[in-house]
Amino acid sequence: MAPSTKTVLIPIAHGTEPLEAVAMITTLRRGGADVTVASVETQVGVDACHGIKMVADTLLSDITDSIFDLIVLPGGLPGGETLKNCKPLENMVKKQDTDGRLNAAICCAPALALGTWGLLQGKKATGYPVFMEKLASTCATAVESRVQIDGRIVTSRGPGTTIEFSITLVEQLCGKEKADEVSSILLVRPNPGEEYTFTELNKTEWLFEDTPQILVPIAEDSEETEAIALVDILRRAKANVVIAAIGNSLEVVGSCEAKLVADVLLDEVAEKSFDLIVLPGGNGAQRFASCEKLVNMLNKQAEANKPYGGICKSPVYVFEHNGLLKDKKATTHPRVSNELSDQSHIDHRVVVDGNVITSRAPGTAMEFSLAIVEKFYGREKALQLAKATLV
């Protein structure tokens, strides 16, 4: 580790909000920080919200004497309560404050943890809307900013503000130039908080019986925020989402070395029918493209005129290279967009063309996921979810 490398601690627990945790881990690592994910439980594996499993790098109990440039707390329930009740973590965060180093928290954690521990007295802070009254009761000045900085404490509101929050933390640690660089790679929303939109051509009704059955494959080097955003948002919408790993292990390491855990191996569901197959990106897209079973499933999906989608590099490496974008408009990550045969829509953040949906990067993943919700359930439900997640 270079002497100037900034160190970050992200504690997680059963019931942590996975999208917040994963977006923080990956964005800060992209910014060059050395991020340690520590479980406050008695094992490194935790059951996060929405049936998503996470694996920490270590146990918090093994690193309580370590010093970090930043400690940042994700939200989610009951995870936020567990963090609040973790005395070793409280002691670390209080020492961090006393020593003048950065602390940060999002969602319920500003009120439940930082506020309860007495660190927000007289400071401006924000949090998830239903915790604003609790926040004010801790003697903080509760504000509705998407991200709030007051001295050495940074707070934010929820899943939909996490990338903005994380970019702010990169700037605090590593400077504006590095933050701008990461922001441009992620394609952060230019208008956060405004109603999401997407481009649609050849409008087609997406059909399902009872509950949408959705397959989200993951592989080594898949982009973690894109994968978790899809699963998190679609499970909130009450779709039945199956995470399937390419290869022989349920646990895979993503492109920013976050550890993802699948529900099943792809081999176990290769003969099943899904209402939608949707792929995250990252360099895992190349592994998808070389997986014959997955490509066969996608070809069958296309032949049956059933929806399929991809984000980031997947539209190019998987769809374009296998003829799955014939006569379709699509978008993809800027770094590979020159490989699309039809580049007319490459600047659009989300494109739906009939039964095919494509998108660009981690910063467009929430809009991508909400567009899928809208196609299955209608705009009203998607907007309710957008409001609940603060997109």
DSSP of 158-192, one letter per residue?
SGGGHHHHHHHHHHHHH-HHHHHHHHHHHT--SST
Backbone angles phi, psi at 381, to 5 degrees: -65, -40
Which residues 6+ apart lie within 8 Å of 15 measured at CB? 47, 48, 49, 76, 77, 78, 79, 80, 81, 82
What is the C-alpha separation between 348 and 186, in angstroms, rounded? Answer: 14
Report which residue type is found at 22. V
Identify the DSSP state of 127: -
Would you call 256 a catalytic residue per the annotation? no
Superfamily name and number for 7-186: Class I glutamine amidotransferase (GATase) domain (3.40.50.880)
**Given the structure tokens 């997407």, which residue do they identify?**
198
Which residues 6+ apart lie within 8 Å of 147 measured at CB? 126, 154, 155, 156, 157, 161, 164, 165, 168
**pLDDT at residue 4 in the model:** 84
Query: Of 49, 86, 107, 174, which is the active-site residue?
Result: 107
**pLDDT at residue 80 in the model:** 98
What the block records as the tokens of 88 is 């070793």
Which residues 6+ apart lie within 8 Å of 157 measured at CB? 106, 107, 126, 127, 128, 129, 146, 147, 390
Beta bridge partners of 351: 199, 358
Q: pTM of this prediction?
A: 0.97
**pLDDT at residue 3 in the model:** 53
What the block records as the tokens of 104 is 């940060």
Identify the DSSP state of 115: I
CB burial readout 3-14, b (16+ within 10 A) else e: eeebbbbbbbbb
What is the C-alpha separation between 160 and 6, in angstroms, rounded? Answer: 25
Low pLDDT (below 50) residues in the chain: none
What is the C-alpha separation between 66 and 192, in angstroms, rounded? Answer: 35
216 touches 242 (CB < 8 A): yes
CA atoms within 13 A on the CB side of 58: 10
**pLDDT at residue 1 in the model:** 52
Which residues 6+ apart lie within 8 Å of 71 measured at CB? 8, 9, 11, 92, 93, 96, 101, 102, 103, 104
What is the C-alpha separation between 95 and 23, in angstroms, rounded? Answer: 26
Closest CA to 16 of 88, 87, 75: 75
Task: Kindly report, as residue ranges, where domains of CATH 3.40.50.880 are found in the chain.
Answer: 7-186, 199-389
What is the C-alpha separation between 250 and 231, in angstroms, rounded? Answer: 16
What the block records as the tokens of 268 is 């176990």
| 199-389: in CATH 3.40.50.880 | yes
Backbone angles phi, psi at 85, to 5 degrees: -85, 5
The length of the chain, given as a count of residues: 391
